[in-house]
Amino acid sequence: MSKKICVWLLATFLLATAFFAEAQQPEKVPRIGYLADAGSSPPQAFLQGLRDLGYVDGKNIAFEYRTTEGKSARRPDQVAELVHLKVDIIVADGTGASLAARKATSAIPIVMTSSSDPVGTGLISSLARPGGNVTGLTSVTGELGGKLLELLKEIVPRLTRVAIALPGPDSPASKLFLKETEAPAQALRVQLITLWVRGPKDFESAFRVATKERANALLVRVPPATFSPHLKQLVELTAKSRLPAISPARNWVDAGGLMSYGADQNVNFRRAATYVDKISRARSRLICQLKPRPNLSL
């Protein structure tokens, strides 16, 4: 066999071996860091959205779930853990979680499931051109305050004093909601009574304040994820106090509350899954483009 034929066969063998080895390498499973204020796993609507797109937890996608359990001071440490684990994407449930994630990293893509005012809080530059590493969805609940008051006014024509249950003065979403609701409240000649409700331990005291201030209706603006396990208790206290109440979260009605008006958060969770899919696909294409090819020159 001539030397030229031997070289040709060797090159063919090396080329076939290289491509076979490359084909045998398993695809990298994207790891998603999920940061929330309650729960033990990502919401079912989010997981279903991923399943609809072909993702199965433990098979072609993996999760690192972190929850503050309603303690916002824990967010920085939990985000730091996700960054240290080098997750591919961080999904942040709410404005507070999104702000903590953005502060912790400018390299890892962040998908926010909802935010009352992403521009005003500095999460993004604009809705048209977010810029940076943050994208996702907004619930614009801050602008709903006036509509919620109007609906209460229809139920209680002599409405004069409305108590607003908010998660805390340090919450950007709370500040925005209160600010956006003040002007329509004045137009409706309704006085607002602020109730800070950080958790179930504040329920009883909040209703005592509402009673003392002679509130004749209640507007519940607390994070659905954080308060979901305790909404039934909150609904029962509302009924006991004989206060007609409204919330922008649908799970308020599911728990037995009077009425709600606002975006369906489950829709946001399902749409957030599409952002995760798009980012994962874009990262996979980039990795393939940057992947070095074996040098087979002889």
**Do residues 121 and 135 both lie within one domain?**
yes
Does residue 87 form part of some domain?
yes
> Do both 229 and 122 map to the same domain?
no
CATH code for the domain in which residue 43 is found: 3.40.50.2300
Question: Based on the domain organization, do 119 and 67 belong to the same domain?
Answer: yes
CA–CA dist 225, 251 (Å, integer): 9
CA 71 to chain centre: 16
Query: 35 is in which domain, residue-wise?
Result: 31-140+265-290
Q: Do 145 and 206 sit in the same domain of this protein?
A: yes
Any domain includes 21: no
Are both 88 and 37 inside the same structural domain?
yes
Quick one: what percent of the chain has pLDDT higher than 90? 48
Residue 194: inside a domain = yes
In this structure, are strands 134-136 and 110-112 parallel, antiparallel, or unpaired? Answer: parallel
| Amino acid letter, residue 244 | P
Please give the pLDDT value at position 152. 95
| 230 located within any domain | yes
Q: Which residues of the chain have pLDDT under 70?
A: 1-27, 140-142, 224-226, 285-298
Q: What is the pLDDT of residue 105?
A: 95
Instruction: Please indicate, yes or no, whether residues 91 and 168 belong to a single structural domain of this protein.
Output: no
Domain-embedded: residue 199: yes
If one counts the domains in the chain, the total is: 2
On whether both 274 and 210 belong to a single domain, the answer is no
Domain membership flag for residue 1: no
Q: CA-CA distance, 250 to 257, in Å (whole number)?
A: 9
Residue 40 and residue 132 in one domain = yes
Shared domain for 59 and 163, answered yes or no, is no
Kindly give, in sequence order, each residue whose CB lies less than 8 Å from that of residue 189, ignoring residues fewer than 6 positions away: 160
**Same domain, residue pair 85 and 228:** no
pLDDT score recorded for residue 264? 81
Q: Are 160 and 191 part of one and the same domain?
A: yes
State the helix-helix crossing angle for 75-84 and 95-104, rounded to 10 degrees.
50
- What is the per-residue DSSP string for 79-122? HHHHHHTT-SEEEE-SHHHHHHHHHH-SSS-EEES--S-TTTTT
Same domain, 186 and 247: yes
Residues 6+ apart with CB under 8 A from 152: 159, 162, 217, 219, 244, 246
Token output for 81: 């853990």
226 found inside a domain: yes
Domain for residue 14, yes or no? no
Token pair, residue 106, equals: 């400018």
